[in-house]
Copies of this chain bind each other. A is one copy, B any other.
Amino acid sequence: VGNKQPALFLRTLDGERSEHTPIWLMRQAGRYLPEYREVRERAGSFLNLCYSPAMAAEVTLQPIRRFGFDAAILFSDILVIPHALGQHVEFVEGEGPRLDPIVEGAALAKLSERPDPARLAAIYETVSRVRGRLGPETALIGFCGAPWTVASYMIAGKGTPDQAPIRLTAYRDGAFLSALVDRLVAASADYLVGQLEAGAQVVQIFESFAGALPPQLFERWSLEPIGRIATAVKAVKPDAKIIVFARGAAGGKLEALAQSGIADGVGLDWGVDLGFARERIQPRQVTQGNLDPLALVAGGEALDRGIDAILNTLGGKPHIFNLGHGILPETPIAHVERLVKRVRGN
């Protein structure tokens, strides 16, 4: 027993139901923590924080020290891939990412075929430092964005409601979108393998914009490219575990993801009905999620009820506790402490 056993998080993702439900939170290294804000301030630009192994490792570890979560997730951003391919990317305070939009083949041809190894080396160095400083009881998760989501930023040059620019591209110029997605599939697979080789044990693929994909486009532009990434990763790292978090995919899309067998774990956003998750997703895959981040902000009875509903409905099978989206900056730390305690039954 003890240290010889794999981390609870890894055993759960492997399909083993334990007495305890492991817990981590999306964006757990973030602005709700004063120690994060201090490092973020020091880093200057957001991208500089992502590319500075000492600082990025520090913020990755902060929530583990404070809350003892069962998994750490690399601090980085899904837009390092377009950046490493040569697209101009910056993060404007209070506005979010800004990129020079790439809207046709000629602009795509100017990007590199493969990501700049120098940029990604800094991230692998972060992974390796974090792994060296985590105990065996804590798993380390790497990640990347799914091609549809990353491409939507690359095409629009920013976040957009309902991702109209990429949807219009899908209707008007499938050949260009296909070439862009292929580029991202190759780059993302390499990038995930690099993180796994540096010490990550699990990778999560974030399809943040699955919601605005019309169902008839979901297979072609989301599932299929994610599947190719997973296949390429497992060809090199057969023991790697993959979690796919497709936000807004409640209902048929989520079921299609579960049926595809692409993922070892399926992330549930807070829009997913718990009964649906138990009946349609859990028989096929380990689930992860899905507390409404606003219930964590609210605290009190709403929080307790939310936690209990998830544990009571999904806790009978292997389940990883998480939020249904990233933790919000205004979340009180005391509410996170209460959450961890309640999930662990203390």
Contact = CB atoms under 8 A, between A and B. Distances in A.
16 contacts: A167-B292, A167-B294, A168-B294, A168-B297, A171-B292, A171-B298, A172-B300, A211-B271, A214-B270, A215-B250, A215-B271, A215-B272, A215-B274, A216-B274, A250-B250, A251-B252
- Chain copies in the assembly? 2
A215 B306 CA distance: 12
Majority secondary structure, A binding face: helix
Contacts of A167: 292, 294
Interface in A27-48: none
Interface string A248-275: 1011100000000000000000111111
A302 B168 CA distance: 10
Contacts of A171: 292, 294-295, 298, 302
Contacts of A212: 271
A235 interface: no
Contacts of A91: none
Contact of A172 (B216, B270, B271, B298): B298
Nearest to A295: B171
A67 interface: no
A250 B300 CA distance: 30
A109 interface: no
Given A212-B271, A215-B250, 19 more contacts: A161-B161, A164-B294, A167-B292, A168-B294, A171-B292, A171-B294, A171-B298, A172-B300, A211-B211, A211-B248, A211-B271, A215-B271, A215-B272, A215-B273, A250-B250, A250-B252, A251-B273, A252-B273, A252-B276
Contacts of A272: 215
Interface in A292-343: 292, 294-295, 297-298, 300, 302, 309
B273 A172 contact: no
Contacts of A309: 216
A310 to B, nearest CB: 10
A300 B171 CA distance: 9
Interface string A208-235: 0001101110000000000000000000
Contacts of A270: 214
A298 B165 CA distance: 11
A344 B292 CA distance: 45
Contacts of A214: 270-271, 292
Contacts of A276: 251-252
A274 B274 CA distance: 23
Contacts of A295: 171
Interface string A270-294: 1111111000000000000000101
Contacts of A292: 167, 171, 214
A295 B214 CA distance: 11
Nearest to A251: B251
Interface in A158-193: 161, 164, 167-168, 171-172
Interface string A198-215: 000000000000011011
A212 B172 CA distance: 29
A51 to B, nearest CB: 29
Interface string A133-170: 00000000000000000000000000001001001100
